[in-house]
Structure 1
Amino acid sequence: MGARPEDYARSSPLNSFLHVEDFNGPADLAAHLKRLDADDAAYNAHFRWKGTGEFVNTHFLCRLCALLQDDRARSGNGRFTPKHRWSRMSGLKGFTF
């Protein structure tokens, strides 16, 4: 379901995600989430990466290529619509849409 765990590992800080393939099924995943809910130390360990200042460089051109190939980013006429996909970037300096 979704991308492979190794794909997430390449683009995410260590221990920053849970992947369904790491569990024996939905019940096992649910049990793990319940354990995290009951154990504050284990829960907080999943967010420890936020305080590291670490980030993963995902290379702008790789993201651009992925967006261009994503059918959901296209309007009904088959054209790429950056305003639709990149509207969250409109507040960045140098970007106007």
Structure 2
Amino acid sequence: MAATFTAQMSRRAATGGWRLYVARLDGQSHWPEQDLGRWAAVPTVQQRSRAVAALGYVLTDDTDWEWTEDSAILGDPSSAVVLIASATVREATE
């Protein structure tokens, strides 16, 4: 069975741009990252899938994007909300 990883997408507070990265917890020091640009709306599922593919990964067959909410300032519930999307991915095979 191929190893799986978590792709996450969040909006950068400083620029308002969306970024997608693959969280590699297997000892790699660099996590692959794709800048999705500045969008007023959340990038579509298709745009997210293309960004995952550009990094050399594909969504696993049984995954959906899940959303979680965090605060911009750790432990401060009055700070701005940060939305993070995540999905399970695996390395693409030729």
> How does the TM-score come out when normalised to structure 2?
0.24
Structure with the higher strand share, 1 or 2? 2
> How does the TM-score come out when normalised to structure 1?
0.23
Structure with the higher helix share, 1 or 2? 1
